[in-house]
Amino acid sequence: MDEKFDAIVVGAGPSGNSAAYLLAKAGLKVLQIERGEYPGSKNVQGAILYSDALERVIPDFREDAPLERHIVEQQMWVLDDESYVGNTYRSAEFNKEPYNRYTIIRAQFDKWFSKKVQDAGALLICETTVSDLLMDGNRVIGIQVDREGGAVYADIVILADGVNSLLAKKAGFHPELDPKDVALAVKEIHFLPQETVQERFNIGEDEGVVIEMVGKITQGMMGTGFLYTNKESITIGVGCMLSDFKKQKTTPYALLEQMKTHPAIKPIIAGGEMKEYTAHLIPEGGYKAIPKICGDGWLMVGDAAMFVNAVHREGSNLAMTSGRLAAETVIALKEAGKEMTAANLALYREKLDDSFLMKDLKKYKNMPEILHSNPQFFTTYPELVNRAAHSMLTVDGVDKKSKEREIRGNFVGKRSLFGLMGDAFKLWRAFE
């Protein structure tokens, strides 16, 4: 296949599909390579789809995209072993079209997206792995695939190959992933009748609920749990930093099994038939861990570039946004008759810096190291908050002032006054 394309996109996840779709739609000759049997066969997500990012690529996506439920309610639970303290936001505004967030099943969604890419004119080849980047000095000039005679050339290669990005590592664009910069997440899908899902969450036919969880379910490791409603199923999962799993010598599977026995979670999934179990890495190193994202003849998008906002559990929208901005950069350079040099492609970084994507990642730049070095946020505080709620809500003849004194004593006893002040400062720095 000694052919030349305007652009080659490696990977058919949301970042690669966004880039390939817009490039093909602009009339460029695009080749997209996906190692999976079909787009979505290798991909894992919770999965919440954020409409805004997709709308900017395919404005009328709601007409035929496979969407499960639009989200009308978000809950946040802080758990100890027996209970949780939670807050809920439910809004009639979220029940008005156009809906802002949906649950999706990635295997179906990626297939749908890929069909749009192919309809726009891109050539997709599946079950094919890009094994190397072809270089002319420092410049990427094409790819090598794991098929006979598999050299293909292009003006630009877009690396949309996900969190591992072996290609970028191989080409020396960034070092081996640091275990403290990636989370390992597992999730299961439990199938239940549609009416049961709706009854358990007090929702209507297309309405959905999201529950995010933090606390003792991660056994002191830095991580979170989640539970989402699909049409006829519930997705449940948990993820923690890879470095913590290594230290703690436990497995994600053991964590999820334990989480499912929690008294607040068990009844929600009771009677469900578990049909899907998947595990995947999530790049959660944040702003400070972003590698070099462009060079002569290449651009990097999505998970490959560490574009995940772990605080707000946003990844696919950053993937689609970076894919879109990469495509817009390439189209602008083509239209101006400019070469795909590192200097010209710096426009991509400018576009990213100007978008919510970099602004949000920058905002939380201190978060990963602060949370990582302060496990009390995942153990001691959830326990104290739950104990305080239990005490205040138990009517037992003890006056409320005494209860407040006891709660204050518990907090100071566990963290000391100085420690409490220090933790408040750390949290402020993490969210500043």
Ligand X SMILES: Cc1cc2nc3c(=O)[nH]c(=O)nc-3n(C[C@H](O)[C@H](O)[C@H](O)COP(=O)(O)OP(=O)(O)OC[C@H]3O[C@@H](n4cnc5c(N)ncnc54)[C@H](O)[C@@H]3O)c2cc1C
CB-CB contact of 161 with 167 (8 Å): yes
Helix (H, G, I), strand (E, B) or coil at 41: coil
Q: Report, in Å, the least distance between residue 324 CB and ligand X.
A: 12
Q: How far apart are CA 154 and CA 105, in angstroms?
A: 33
Q: How far apart are CA 15 and CA 19, in angstroms?
A: 6
Q: Report, in Å, the least distance between residue 278 CB and ligand X.
A: 7
Q: Report, in Å, the least distance between residue 190 CB and ligand X.
A: 15
Helices (H), 102-241: 106-119, 166-170, 194-201
18 to 100, 114, 160, 200, 285: CA distances (angstroms)? 19, 9, 10, 36, 23
Q: Pick the closer one to ligand X by CB: 166 or 407.
A: 166
Residue 219 C-beta-side C-alpha neighbours within 13 Å: 19
Q: Report, in Å, the least distance between residue 162 CB and ligand X.
A: 3
Question: Which residues in 163-174 are b (16+ Cβ under 10 Å) and which e?
Answer: bebebbeebebb
CB-CB contact of 105 with 141 (8 Å): no
Q: Pick the closer one to ligand X by CB: 31 or 333.
A: 31
Q: Report, in Å, the least distance between residue 284 CB and ligand X.
A: 10
Q: Pick the closer one to ligand X by CB: 167 or 269.
A: 167
Helix (H, G, I), strand (E, B) or coil at 2: coil
Q: Pick the closer one to ligand X by CB: 109 or 381.
A: 109
Q: Pick the closer one to ligand X by CB: 167 or 227.
A: 167
Q: Report, in Å, the least distance between residue 316 CB and ligand X.
A: 3
Q: Pick the closer one to ligand X by CB: 180 or 387.
A: 180
CB-CB contact of 238 with 223 (8 Å): yes
Q: Report, in Å, the least distance between residue 161 CB and ligand X.
A: 4
Q: What is the largest CA-CA distance in the chain?
A: 84
Sign of the dihedral through C-alpha 270, 274, 280, 283: negative
CB-CB contact of 212 with 310 (8 Å): no
Rg of the chain in Å (alpha carbons): 23
Q: Pick the closer one to ligand X by CB: 8 or 28.
A: 8
Q: Report, in Å, the least distance between residue 396 CB and ligand X.
A: 41
Q: Report, in Å, the least distance between residue 243 CB and ligand X.
A: 17
Closest CA to 129 of 150, 111, 114, 109: 150
Q: How far apart are CA 184 and CA 178, in angstroms?
A: 12
Residues that bind ligand X (CB under 6 A): 10-16, 33-36, 42-48, 129-130, 160-162, 167, 185, 187, 237, 239, 280, 282, 302-304, 308, 313-317, 319
Q: Report, in Å, the least distance between residue 167 CB and ligand X.
A: 6
Helix (H, G, I), strand (E, B) or coil at 363: helix
Q: Pick the closer one to ligand X by CB: 203 or 320.
A: 320
Q: How far apart are CA 307 and CA 312, in angstroms?
A: 12
Q: Pick the closer one to ligand X by CB: 11 or 368.
A: 11
Q: How far apart are CA 39 and CA 124, in angstroms?
A: 10
Q: Pick the closer one to ligand X by CB: 296 or 303.
A: 303
